Amino acid sequence: MLEHLNKSSEISICGVLSQPDRRSGRGRELKANPVKEWATQKGFEVRSPARPDQAEIDWIKERAADILLVMAYGHILSDDFLNSTPLGCYNLHGSLLPAYRGASPIETALASGDKKTGVTLMRMVRKMDAGPIIGHKSVEITEEDTGTTLRCKLGEVCVPLIDQHIEALIEGSAEETFQSETKVTYCRKLTKGDSILDFSLDARLLECRVRAFNAWPGSVFFYEGIALRVGKCRAVPDQGLAPGELTFENELFIGTGRGTLQVLELQKPGGKMLAVSDFLRGYTLKNGSQLDFPNSIPLVSKKFQ
Which residue from 294, 284, 236 is spatially nearest to 263, judged by alpha carbons?
A: 236
For 187, phi then psi, to 5°, come to -115, 140
CA dist 252 to 36, 69, 286, Å?
44, 48, 11
User: Does the pLDDT value for residue 1 go beyond 90?
Assistant: no
Looking at residue 76, its pLDDT comes to: 85
Exposed, middle or buried, 140 (CB in 10 Å: 0-12/13-18/19+)? exposed
| Residue that is last in its domain, among 187, 218, 247 | 187
* Structure-model confidence comparison of residues 110 and 1, the more confident one: 110
pLDDT tens digits, one per residue of 165-200: 999 999 999 999 999 999 999 999 999 999 999 999
Residue 298 inside a domain? The answer is no
Residue 169 inside a domain? The answer is yes
Residue 152 inside a domain? The answer is yes
The domain that contains 270 carries what CATH number?
3.10.25.10
The domain that contains 89 carries what CATH number?
3.40.50.170
User: Does the pLDDT value for residue 27 go beyond 80?
Assistant: no
| Residue that is last in its domain, among 120, 155, 187 | 187
211 shares a domain with 147: no
Residue 126 inside a domain? The answer is yes
* Structure-model confidence comparison of residues 267 and 26, the more confident one: 267
pLDDT tens digits, one per residue of 190-241: 999 999 999 999 999 999 999 999 999 999 999 999 999 999 999 999 999 9
What count of residues does the chain have?
305
Which residue from 157, 121, 175, 166 is spatially nearest to 11, judged by alpha carbons?
A: 166
102 shares a domain with 236: no
Contact 72, 94 (CB under 8 A): yes
Q: What residue numbers bound the domain in which 156 lies?
A: 2-187
Residue 287 inside a domain? The answer is no
Residue 303 inside a domain? The answer is no
128 shares a domain with 17: yes
Residue 227 inside a domain? The answer is yes
157 shares a domain with 16: yes
Summary mean pLDDT of the chain: 95
| Residue that is last in its domain, among 129, 162, 187 | 187
69 shares a domain with 39: yes
99 shares a domain with 221: no
205 shares a domain with 172: no
Q: Say which DSSP state 264 is in.
A: -
213 shares a domain with 162: no
194: helix, strand or coil: helix
Q: How many domains does the chain have?
A: 2
242 shares a domain with 148: no
Q: How confident is the model at residue 10 (pLDDT cuts 50, 70, 90)?
A: confident
183 shares a domain with 62: yes
208: helix, strand or coil: helix
User: Does the pLDDT value for residue 151 go beyond 90?
Assistant: yes
211 shares a domain with 95: no
Looking at residue 206, its pLDDT comes to: 98
Residue 8 inside a domain? The answer is yes
157 shares a domain with 128: yes
